[in-house]
Amino acid sequence: MSDYIKPQPGIMDIALYEGGAAHVAGLTDAVKLSSNENPFGPSDRAKEAFSRAVHRLNRYPNTDHAALRDAIGEAHGLDPARIICGVGSDEIIHFLCQAYAGPRDEVVFTEHGFLMYRISAMAAGAAPVAVPERERTTDVDAILAACGKKTKLVFLANPNNPTGTMIGLAEVERLAKALPKQAILVLDGAYAEYVEGYDGGADLATRLPNVFMTRTFSKIYGLGGLRIGWGYGPRAIIDVLNRIRGPFNLSNAQLEAAEAAVRDQDHVTRCRDENTRMRAWLAEALAEKGVPSDTSTANFILARFADEADATACDDYLRAEGLIVRRVSGYGLPHCLRITVGDESSCRRVAHAIGRFKAQGKAAP
């Protein structure tokens, strides 16, 4: 590259995001439990809508996403005018940083928070500020202590990825009301649907002028391959974000599949119930084998090992068995493995394999 062609300052300091592995060399039937995907996939209604969209591939989608916003509003009891749709919730996060943070500003998040908070902050030229958690759980007082005049955005994943822990809405509201007046609290609800009766912070984003919520169709709706997300908050913030959103950021296929998916809440309920059942089983099975985890409220479990060497050895053992889980050293948790709650067969298989790994270690001289 020419010495005269350079990216903006700070861009080359961004560490590349690495998704969960999907393949094991030499194996064609590996079980992927590394990306928190819904093992049951999308609803039949969403698949049918996607299939119908093939007949209009020559047509541009509408630019206002009105039908999808209406469907989301109807499903969640929200004002569609306060909803914005994007290419996964990642794009909404990027919009927020682009619109509200820049050089000399700070973006705050917890130490084990989603890696895209740091990446999007740095891409906007802002300084990322990671705040310590308490036993892998958000510490509101630590966040408030880290905020100041430079703070523009505070990202809080609740439930959090990759820990699976969450805090109550009373604590979230206390955080929102105590933030500096120029700061926006962004509640990342990617896993909100896995918590029965939890609105992801929608009520707070309706009542408070400094709270914004993001959600996704990639998890419980089973549409990770289509990349569809949305955000909800004050109309003033929605107006700002729409000014930088590309007019055709979502295709007809994305819009129509997502609309059908959100209208099929029976599928959501079935997936949540089965996830709750198998999550409890997997956590108990691993604990019995000497592998503890915090109470998870998402669709994965953060399994804790004695140290990084033990976690790495277990990961290597699982891969040899055709089981792909997620190492999370990039999240500051080198002694842990994040394991997606798959279907019953997958959960039993991974628990059995970890049990064999632990027994192997005890048998060693």
Task: Look at residue 365 in the predicted model and tell me its pLDDT.
Answer: 44
Which residues, other chains included, contact 206 with Cβ-Cβ below 8 Å and sequence gap of 6+? 78, 79, 82
Q: Low-confidence residues of the chain, pLDDT below 50? A: 363-365
Which residues, 6+ apart, have CB-to-CB distance to 19 below 8 Å? 35
How far apart are the C-alpha atoms of 277 and 111, rounded to whole Å? 29
For the stretch 10-66, pLDDT in tens is: 888 887 777 766 666 666 678 999 999 999 999 999 999 999 999 999 999 999 999
Read off the amino acid at residue 240: V
Nearest to 330 by CA among 21, 10, 44, 66: 21
pLDDT given for residue 21 in this prediction? 63
**The pLDDT value given to residue 6:** 81
Q: What is the pLDDT of residue 5?
A: 80
Which residues are within 8 A (CB) of 245 and not within 5 positions of it... i.e. 6 or more apart? 84, 86, 95
DSSP letter for 137, please: B
Nearest residue to 300 via CA among 267, 333, 261, 322: 333
Strand 184-188: give its sheet, edge to edge.
Answer: 83-86, 229-232, 211-216, 184-188, 151-157, 106-110, 127-131
How far is the C-alpha of 239 from the C-alpha of 82, rounded, in Å?
9
**Measured distance CA(260)–CA(274) in Å, rounded:** 21
Q: What's residue 18's pLDDT?
A: 72
Distance CA 188, CA 274 (A): 23
- Taking residue 335's Cβ as centre, other Cβ atoms within 10 Å add up to 16
Structure tokens at 286: 């691993």
Closest among 149, 103, 109, 150 to 128, alpha carbons compared:
109
The residue ranges of DSSP E strands in the chain, in sequence order, are 31-32, 83-86, 106-110, 127-131, 151-157, 184-188, 211-216, 229-232, 300-304, 323-324, 326-327, 336-340
* C-beta atoms surrounding 142 within 10 Å: 15
Written as one string, the DSSP assignment of 88-123 is HHHHHHHHHHHHH--TT-EEEEETTS-HHHHHHHHH
* pLDDT at position 26: 60
Q: How far out from the chain centre does Cα 104 lie?
A: 27
